Amino acid sequence: MEEVGKVVGIKDDMVTVEVERSAACQGCGACRLSTGGKMLTEARNLVGAGIGDRVRVEIAPKAFLTATFVVFMIPLILLVAGFILGSFLAFLFNRPAYSQGMGVFFGFVFLALSLLIVRAVDRRATKTRKLQPIITQVIEEV
């Protein structure tokens, strides 16, 4: 996935890039919201871009799919697993009338657990820079 944006800040080998919010990046989580439908993202500056430059920011397809899986699928899988486990426990303890209630309760408990897992994966990915966007080209210098 690639986007075009404007460099608004530099720190060491990293830059802050302001990009337009597109449909493809609607909820991936690699960026944080800014003003006016724009987003800010941290990217590795491998091409020596300066403040004000228009640049092409790219996230490797494998990294994008990994991030998408972690953000969307892990919570969904754990929500369903929690519901199934709660329902099973209700039948196991001979309380079939409580199966839906326990399923919903355990579903939300597992959903909360999944958010902790997503947060831990995000922190680890930030340290290793495996999912970090990269500036691949300076389109227009200021």
How many residues would you count in the chain? 142
The single residue listed with the structure tokens 């329902």 is 87
Tell me the C-alpha distance between 117 and 123, whole Å. Answer: 10
Per-residue pLDDT of the chain (142 residues; tens, 9 = 90+): 888 889 998 988 888 999 876 665 555 555 555 556 778 888 888 888 889 999 998 888 888 888 889 999 999 999 999 999 999 999 999 999 999 999 999 999 999 999 999 999 888 887 777 778 888 888 988 7
**Domain co-membership, 96 together with 74:** yes
CB neighbours of residue 40 within 10 Å? 16
pLDDT of residue 29: 54
Place of tokens 């494998």: 62
pTM of the model: 0.69
- Whether residue 135 sits in one domain with residue 123: no
Same domain, 70 and 119: yes
For residue 82, what are its two tokens? Answer: 């929690």
Residue 123 sits in the same domain as residue 136: no
Q: Which stretch of DSSP H or E encloses residue 67? A: helix 61-68
pLDDT score of 46: 86
Question: What distance lies between CA 50 and its chain's CA centroid?
Answer: 26
Residues 44 and 66 grouped into a single domain: no
The number of distinct structural domains making up the chain is 2
3-state secondary structure of 109: helix
Range of the domain at 101: 62-128
Same-domain status, 36 and 15: yes
Task: Check whether residue 55 and residue 103 sit in a common domain.
Answer: no
